[in-house]
A and B are shown apart, each in its own frame.
Chain A
Amino acid sequence: QSALTQPASVSGSPGQSITISCTGTTSDVGGYNYVSWYQHHPGKAPKLMIYEVSNRPSGVSNRFSGSKSGSTASLTISGLQAEDEADYYCSSYTSSSTLVFGGGTKLTVL
């Protein structure tokens, strides 16, 4: 059950687009379309931003989008805003019927 691999940090200026990658294996990200993305502001509960690779829950801005290619999933945030600054985590279902999270990515809006 190794954690999915995410970059430790990414940054962008307001209005720009950024992409956060989430790399796993064929036993998790590559094998199932059950990849989710969460936004986490310290001290608050995580918020679901994307489920099942590319679906946005009701109420989540369409500036957030998800995709997957092989064993790497990606979260793209377009039109960066100051409020997007947070930690982002991916997660995936695995062939062992478990869930696994990525190590997290700190997004800084410059």
Chain B
Amino acid sequence: EVQMLESGGGLVQPGGSLRLSCAASGFTFSTYAMNWVRQAPGKGLEWVSSITSSGGSTFYADSVKGRFTISRDNSKNTLYLQMDSLRAEDTAVYYCAKPRGSGYYRGIDYWGQGTLVTVSS
């Protein structure tokens, strides 16, 4: 059974940092690209970032480019999102999301339960 368990969310002040983790199991993690998607309160889904299976290529939404860093440790089956210079508008539930195929763009077939990040003073 595919499972993805996010952790690391919480309350942080504007300008602060957080690192989200996503522990994956039930599939061969090292062969899949991975994604982070978020949903702000009362808003729609927003793609945040993607990383290829090897970690060699990363992609970011303009809204987070230069502030967030996606990475992975295939030996630990874990995906990360380092979030720096956090802003109030980054407040959202962050989902770890597995694509159904080899590319990160081929539809997301499994989602984690989400972890809430709240940026507020």
Contacts and interface: CB of A to CB of B under 8 A. Distances in A.
Nearest to B44: A104
Contacts of B95: 45-46
A3 B105 contact: no
A18 interface: no
Contacts of A89: 44-45
Interface in B34-70: 35, 37, 44-47, 50, 59-63
B108 interface: yes
A100 B46 CA distance: 7
Contacts of B50: 98-99
Interface string A51-65: 110000100000000
Given A1-B62, A57-B100, A98-B61, A46 B45 contact: yes
A101 B111 contact: no
A76 B20 CA distance: 36
A48 interface: yes
B110 to A, nearest CB: 8
Interface residues of A, number: 26
Contacts of B47: 91, 98-101
B105, B108, B114: most-surrounded residue (chain A CB, <10 A): B105
B45 A48 contact: no
Contacts of B112: 45
Interface of A: 1, 3, 32, 34, 36, 38, 40, 45-46, 48, 50-52, 57, 87, 89, 91, 93, 97-104
Interface of B: 35, 37, 44-47, 50, 59-63, 95, 100, 103-109, 111-114
